[in-house]
Structure 1
Amino acid sequence: FNYITITTMVVFGVEVIINTLGKQGYLFGFFFFLDVLSTVTLVLDLTYVSDTLFGDSISAAQQLSDFDGAGPVVQGPVDQGSSQSADAARAARMSRVGTKAGRVVRLLRLVRLIRLIKFYQNRSKSSAKYAQDSEASPGMDWEEDDDDMQQESAVSKKLSEMTTRRVVMLVLIIMLSLPFFQPGMYNEDLPSSAQYGANVLFRRWRDDMTSYEPWANDTARAAYFASKGREVYVDDFFLFAYYHSPYTTQEAVPAEAVSSPLASFNRLFWVGAHPDNETLGQFFLPSFEGRGTAAGQAQAYDPNERWGGADWLYYQGNLSSDPVGLLYSPWASAQSCIKGYMRGVSLVADMPCPDVLRYNERTVIVPMTATAAEYEDLHFIFVFDRRTGTWLEAILNTAQTCFICFLLGFGAMTFSQDANRLVLTPIERMISKLDKIRNNPLEAMTIGDEEHHREQVRALKRGQQQGPADQDFEATRKKLCSRCCAAIWRCIRRRGSSPKPIPEPMETVVLEKTIIKIGSLLALGFGEAGAEIIGQNMRGGDSAALNAMIPGRRVEAIFGFCDIRNFTDATEVLQDQVMVFVNRIASVIHSCVNEFFGNPNKNIGEAFLLTWRLSGYPPAKQKKLADMSLISFIKIIAQINKSPLLAEYRNHPKLAKRLPNYRVRMGFGLHSGWAIEGAIGSEFKIDASYLSPNVNMAARLEAVTKQYGCLILMTDAIIKLMSEEVSEECRVIDHVRLFESKEPFKLYTYDLNDLALEVEHVAPPAPVQGTLSRDTHPRENPREGHSHKKDKFRLRHEREKLKAERWSDEFMMHSVFSIDTDIITMRSKFTSEFFCRFNMAYLNYEAGEWGVAKDMLEVTRFLLATEDGPSAALLRYMKQYDWEAPGGWTG
């Protein structure tokens, strides 16, 4: 036991050292002192320490014997160790208070279990979260984020620590203070039967010794043994032994008995005296001199016949012949214990001396009705076996330990529950969302959608718990009628009482939703180019100063520029409805670009700047992004021509009058190169955008789409980035030097016939009477609001899933050209013959054979149903030089 205790102390000490070295703020902190104190209290569990501090008179005598190294003590009326033994007896009584205090101090080490409880709680949450994640599948209707699993904030840690301190101190103060409110702390109750019996026996025996002085001569000795007092002493001695008999069993106790020795934890097993004074000790044991052997004495006075049997209300049972014979034996044959420090008789064969039991497993009773001189001459010692009580104490102490652990853990976890639920958990959710925005500002746009989805899911769950609304219409109608009647009746009973006030929303909820909205607005306003501005300013948590003018950085990207045709005319006609017009087009552009991993950067009236960042991606992913940029423009063209909302403008009377056969059309320019990404502006207003000749090049390409009669124009820089399969789908149409470009480059287009697409008739459009609906979406049926929003979230999730599939290495982007029905429809009129003839014409044009090129281009110009814009543009250019290539022509 001592080895285990010492090992535990070493482990606890190592833990304190490790925490001191590895945990900031631990040294000389609250838990440092608690851990040190709880480790020190383990010393009290060492047997030799506990015997010294809380031991009884036998423990003290044993220690004195070991210290003195004495052998048998000198016999006589008074000896040298008697005074020390008396002091030990008085100290044993005083040690009871120390024992109680020691047990309470040991409770300090239970504070360590607070950490185990906290660890178990976190481990349970993690296990629950893992189980939930393993059972949930992507896109589930009921998918919700586990807000409870947020990383614990500094505020939460501080509050939890302070709450734990207060709970620990409260429990310890209660446990340490409760004994002082008990009367037994200041005074004892009535003496026990053992103490009272020992007092009576000793007083009777000592008075007889004083009266007869049987050690003086044989006459006095014989008179004493024949006296009535001796008979009463022997009778009381055996009554004392039977009353605390160690041999009584539960089975032997009759049903009519009121009580028995089993009612007490203390069972007498050893009787003796100290010091080993032969002069007085020979009269201690209950024997009758002159009556022969012990067997003869038992026949003359049979204690079993006197005190045994089942006639007594207090059933005592019988003693076997062995202990009776020992009690009748002479004093000289009694067992000497603790190096002769005391002598006596054991009633239990396997426990010859009291020191075979630990001090807490025995109870020592010495008479208190003695003077100091009488005590030093010789005093009785009765030792009781209380191991059954010790065993029960161990069980109760274990239960107490479990209860205190529960009390500490429950208190630490529940005292701050309201604060956690109302303040800390919302703050931790806010911190988690801010961390997401700080690490990836563009993710703020999805946080709002997810939070809104969770709100709708909770509302749907509450609705389903109340009952499905569309399973049984008749039952629902009856239920509503009954509820209405009940509500009317309650209103009549209240007779105009004030309505129940609507609870105000919690400030933390309002703040959390405000943070989500602000983050979403920041992401929407700054875009990908401003992500670094948002991230750097949010990472600077030590200062409230705003630093928006951060240095720009060079990036490689694909730049796309698109413009709405005839926008000035549309603005003059639509007036205040032009915002709805632009936003409908922007919705199509932004959704298609996002679907193919692009980012809208800037809206300039009718023009839109779009980017695909290449920096940080390997060549294979850059090639895929180049393919996606072209496909996103193709999809924008398809969606604009198929949109029923945008098709309304074809029938707008004022637009039709000003622009006959009007339809929404756009031009697109696509280029790749470097740019400086950063903030543009001042402390009063900034825009996050890109500065570079390459950005301007994309805009100029869009501007010349009208000259070439194409929807999309691209440079050879973007063509070189594309995969071979996608670049082969593009047609080279010219080799030019635009404006300030230093080197000439080839122009490419992707031929599309946008007039071939039909409008999607998902729902019949509202009739147009000179004005358009201000709503960008048809109004929802309020009863279908939940399902519509749930479908919106599902569509977003499916879009993200489709993006992930396209981003994988296994997906080939050129396969879109062969499976997308819109692309197939718009490409159907462009034949292989047309591409071959134009390619031959362009090669002659590039080689300077303009005469041959003129003849071939005049064929391709009207080879299709409509005029081919690039063919017409080349013919117009060659006509300026009278169909002859100028000198020094290099193509």
Structure 2
Amino acid sequence: MKNTRKISPELAPTHDKPVSSNNPSTNAILELTRKGSGLRRQGTTRLGSPPTLWQRRAMTILESNVFSGLMNIITIYCLFGDDLRVVYGSKSTDLGFYVVAFVFFCLFCIEFLLSCFAKPFYLASFYFYLDIIATVSLIPDIGFIWDLIVGADNRSVAALSAGKTGRIVRVVRIVRLIRIVKLVKWRHNEEQKQQVAESKTGGKLAEMTTRRVVMIVIFLCFVLPAFDGGYNDPINTFETKGFETLHVFNFQPMPCAAFMGMLKVWITRTTNNLMYLRMSNIPFETTTQWASEIRFSSLDLKVANLTHDPTTGWWPEDMYLSEDELLANYRPTDLRVIRITGCYTTDIDPIAIPGNCTSVTYFDIQSDIQAAAKASMVKAAFVMLVLIASSISFVRVARKTVLEPIERMEDQKLAKAQGFETALLESTLEKISALMQVGFGAAGADIIGKNMGAGDVDPMLPGKKITSIYGFCDIRQFTDTTECLQEEVMVYVNKLGHIMHSGTHAYYGMANKNVGDAFLLSWKLCDGEMPGFARFSDTPTEEDRKAVNATVKCPPNAGAGKKMRRVTPTEMADSALTAFLKCMIDLDNANSFGVLHEYIVKDVVIKRFGPGFRIQMGFGMHVGWAIEGAIGSRFKIDATYISPHVEMADRLEAGSKIFKTKINVSHWLYALLSPGARKSTRVDTPLTVYTFDVTNPKNGFATPKFDTDERGNQVQKPVDFEHDPEYKEIREGLDPEFLESAAAGVDQYLAGDWASAKGSLTHALQLRPTDGPTKHVMDFMKEHQFQAPTDWNGVRTLNGY
């Protein structure tokens, strides 16, 4: 905690005279939006009766994030799982893929049955039939089931047929993913940001649009292959017809050398690797011997008598000696089998005669099958992308251009109005809303909006307790400045207000109240009291800070970004401190070359204050409870916060004049800061007040930083005192030895060892002669001749604080 300085131990708060304040604090933005029923509506059964207990439990399972996430993952796997098996697996791993596919098939069946049981209007709906198709389409991926359907004896033919069927129905599985994406997207929108609620018409249009997009894409996936040669894989005519010719010639009375030459030519001209060959009427050993004698030429024909095929890398030794051995090492789908059956006469024009004469050969087509599987995965990913992009795009266009204006008209009971008048009224309401927000402040607008919720303004409503961070800042030498500037003082104050309000709103805070020469800002943490950080009697610890971060989430806020999110109390505290640091530095830079420079060079100002005058402000920060509500009568009403904790922020700012610091932070807020932020503050004098030293007012400090979410919205990054170099840059030139001496001196002062404290603080003043907190403590000890009073307990009363 060496970067934050403690400037005051605890002054015991005076509880017998509580101080109240009418300073308002802001925590929300007025929303003049329509009242919608939301995306989720209570379902009923098909006959209109309320859902039963078991139906509600089933819906809870179906709508749970865990189950939805699991089914999303399973759906994506099922789109690519069988192709992954073909490309990266082997025959020995097939059973594992089949078992996984069977488990996922069972889960799809369970989801389907639960949907039929619990979802209203699901039976016989569009997605009901698509889910049936998508579930059934998983069966070809389960080998031990598909073998029973097509027959194990025809495994290779059945596998090829299943592959073609799978390529067609695979797109149906994408439909499930589209529906999940749509539901997750809309539910996320409902929870994360307020927008026009989906009406019955909007939901129906979105559903119909998605259906048509799905059907068009599926139709194209079915029809387009027909224009590219059909749904069957191309057949190697040379291999098939050539082998059939060899089988017929095998019955002719021709020299062995001539037949062997034909066989060798056929083998060398095939495009796939020959793995097994058995000819009718020729011993197997003979055909194997002939194959081993085949020689190849290089691709450029410059080298002959090669013993392997230079194109495919095939060697005669790659051939298997039996069909059983071959089928034991290869999937049937990775082999092309050519089986020719029939006996022929020895005539010049052979005639088929009865008999059991069979020739068979096998080719390795694994590389072709793997290439097809890779192409299938690319195609599935592309179709999925098209479905998602087109569905979202069409629905968004319809919603923005048609549905939202119509729904707003309906909600405002202006459905009969013409377009131009409706647009004019809508624009007028937006302007009124903006003016109310500016007039009441963000929190005030929310308070007034709730007060008017019943239709009338009622100032006699009870308030609500909240916990918030309060920041109070005061313009120094304001009375004299007002006499100098006269009418210009309004613009002068507004420019200062712009600096304060902009920095605050950029870091999740809200402008609350403008009191002439002062501004009150707030950062709402939660409704009710936050344990350990709400009362003056609280003594928060590090465990308390971790506990509230785990249990409390602040109201949604976008900061300077575009997307609202909930932050932790510690991130809110760090953001509040960063906001005031930004205001301090922006104020300093505005004096030097910004919007305030014109005032410090005015003749009347120089005459009153001298040539070295600079516009300065003091800052105080505190955290605690307050009562928010509306105060007034039917003639005038104000939104305000009433609490001694609001007044404490004012007192801390007043103390900055005593300690000659720019910012003071109470020890309650100090305890809520992150460890990285606490390292940048130091103790000042007893109240347990902390200050933050700024030695280098860097231009552009604390410009909000953003990430971009998956929808392109700007999400503001959390502040990071520990690792962000900006916080070190604004403290350049601050001697670590000074911080150590000042910290040691304050600790010795609190412990009653004032003689040692004098030495430490004297050394600190030698290193930094203008340091206000150090001089203040030294002055106080000097009044007592640097001897601690006999009743000293580390706490004293500070007049004027």
Shorter-chain TM-score: what band? Answer: 0.3 to 0.5
| Higher gyration radius (CA) | 1
Give the TM-score, by structure 1 length: 0.39
Bigger helix fraction = 1
